Structure 1
Amino acid sequence: MSMARQFIQSGSRWEELAGYSRAVVDGEWVFVSGTIGQDFKTGAFPDTAEQQSELALDTIESALAQARASLADVVRVRVYVPDRDDVIAVSQVLRQRLGTHRPANTTVCSPLAVEGAKVEIEVTARRAA
């Protein structure tokens, strides 16, 4: 018997603009969309890639919680960083927040769609039975 998909929203204007969900739950899997480190209520960005990474992971953690999952359930991380000089700072935040679970990771240096964004993080999680 398959379970109905659950769609989770964070209140980001980008979700409404592009018609996507922050996360989609499909059975035991949780797919979290690329998430930038922006305060979605004010539109403000923290100054550094490190701070933006923390905020992005906070948003991801909230979406996972709504899906009855946690950062400990993350099995795959994709990270997009426009400035190669920020990769170390972003990686250190990922290690602090996800490192004990050691998910698979891909980091790409590439421009981002949102002006002011210094990082975008996407995760896939598998909920514990």
Structure 2
Amino acid sequence: MDRSRQHVSSETEWESRVGYSRAVRAGPHVHVSGTTATDEDGNVVGRDDPAEQTRYVLEIIQNALEEADTTLEDVVRTRIYVVDIDDWDAIGRAHAEVFGEIGPATSMVEVNRLISPELLVEIEATAYVGSE
């Protein structure tokens, strides 16, 4: 079994501060960390718009997957954390814009808060790219 690991970094201060990677590929599995709508300067994209935040998050996830030599089509699972479950429809529709045809397993869970009060959604993704 191949035990090699590939780490994908977004090179934000948070990765070294907390001790994580944007994504990790281990064999045929790629795990993308919880991702928020925070740009490279630390600004929140789509401050009051859960759908816009979701779209931006999914762009970040797509970029991380591509750096790990895979694509959105390989995603088998997403986990969506929201601060207001009443936003489920807007977030779900934005998720479906990307994953509607792919159809990964998913969960959407309301949480008390995220790391910043401007953040409305955080998403994790898992991809399976088959045998090496």
Does the pair score TM above 0.5? yes
What are the ranges of 5 or more consecutive residues in structure 2 without an aligned counterpart? none
2:27 aligns with 27
Residues 13 and 46 of structure 1: is their aligned pair in 2 closer, same or farther, counting only changes over 3 Å? farther
Q: Which runs of structure 2 are paired with 1:114-129 in the superposition (5 Å)? A: 114-128=116-130
Residues 13 and 43 of structure 1: is their aligned pair in 2 closer, same or farther, counting only changes over 3 Å? farther
1:43 aligns with 43
Normalised by the size of structure 2, how large is the TM-score? 0.91
Normalised by the size of structure 1, how large is the TM-score? 0.93
Q: Percent identity?
A: 37
The separation in 2 between residues aligned to 1:37 and 1:16, in whole angstroms, is: 19
Letter in 2 for 1:31: H
Q: Does 1:52 align with 2:60?
A: no
Letter in 2 for 1:80: Y
2:109 aligns with 108
Aligned residue pairs, count: 129
The separation in 1 between residues aligned to 2:16 and 2:46, in whole angstroms, is: 22
Residues 113 and 42 of structure 1: is their aligned pair in 2 closer, same or farther, counting only changes over 3 Å? closer
Q: Which secondary structure does the structure 1 equivalent of 2:66 belong to? A: helix
2:96 aligns with 95
Say whether the 8 Å CA contact 2:76–2:104 is kept in structure 1: yes
Say whether the 8 Å CA contact 1:50–1:89 is kept in structure 2: yes
Q: Once the 2 structures are TM-superposed, how far is the Cα of residue 41 of structure 1 from its aligned partner? A: 2.4
Q: Does 1:11 align with 2:11?
A: yes
